[in-house]
Amino acid sequence: MKLSKSLKKLKGDASLRTFFRNKKKESSSIIVYANKNKRSNLLVYDSINKILLKNNILAPKLLSENYSKNYIEIEDFGDQTIFNLLKKSRTNKLVIFKRIIRLLNKLQLIRQRKIKNFKKKNYKIPIYRPKILLNEANLFSTWYINQKLNNSKKILFKKKFIENIKNLIKQLRFKNNIFVHRDFHVSNLMIVKNKIGVIDNQDALIGNIAYDLASLIDDVRFQTSTSFKKKLFNYFLKSTFSLSPLLFSPLLFNFFLVTVF
C-alpha cells in the first residue's frame, strides 16, 4: 500500500491487518489494510461492528471502503485503552472492571445474528462449533510445544493433547447461544469520551456464556489477585441475573472454581 503524507502507521495486533491513522486538520480516521484474508479482516469486521452499534454498543463506524484495494476507513477511537488506564496507580480498578462487566452484560444480551455487510450481502454470525474450539486449543502445540520439544516428543505430546481436549469438549454443558467477542480483554477496550468502545470484533461467534468472562477476569496481560477475581465473578453473577435470569446458570460457579480459582 502506497502511503500518503497524511497517514501514520500504527502498532498492529496479531492479525494480518495493518492500521494507519489518517490525520486531518480537525479530525482523524483509521485506515485498516488487509491484503490477506480480507473477508474476515474487513468485511466481517465491519459486519460485527454494525451489529454492536445497532445494539447501542460503541464500535468503530465505517466511514468509507475500497475493498478492491484491500482497505476500509473507520472511526478513530484514539489511543487510550482500558489497559493503559488500569496501569495508573490511582485508578480504582474495581470500579472500572464493574463498568466492563456491565458492558459484557449488554454484549451477551445481543440477539441479532444477521446483517448486511457493505457489499450488500447477508452476514450471519457463525456458531462456536467444537471443531473451532479444538483448532484454537491446538494453537498451544503449534506456537509453544514446537519450540520446546524435539520431534519424537512433539508427536507423542500432540496426540495425547488432542485426545484430552476432545474429551473436555465432550463434557461441556453450556449451550452455544450467547454473543461471544472471543478477544474480550482490557487492551481491546478503548476510552472514548468517557465511554467504553470495543475493537477487534471480527472473530465474534455465538457460543459459551463463560468464554468472554474468563478472558476478562483471568487475563495474563493484566494479572489480578484471586480475591479480586472472585469479586468480579460475583458481580457478574449478580448483574447477569438482574438483567436476564434466563442467562444465569449456577454451573458458572463450578466453571470458575475449576478454571480460575
pLDDT of residue 14: 60
The per-residue pLDDT for range 120-179, each reduced to its tens digit, is 999 999 999 989 989 988 888 888 888 888 888 888 998 999 999 999 888 877 778 999
pLDDT of residue 3: 52
- The predicted model gives 204-221 an average pLDDT of 92
Are the CB atoms for 190 and 161 separated by under 8 Å?
A: no
Please tell me the distance from the alpha carbon of residue 6 to that of residue 23, in angstroms, as a whole number: 6
- Burial state string for 26-55 with b = 16 or more CB within 10 A and e = fewer than 16: eeebbbbbbeeebeebbbbbbbbbbbbeee
More confident residue, 246 or 118: 118
pLDDT of residue 246 exceeding 60 = no
Please tell me the distance from the alpha carbon of residue 72 to that of residue 158, in angstroms, as a whole number: 39
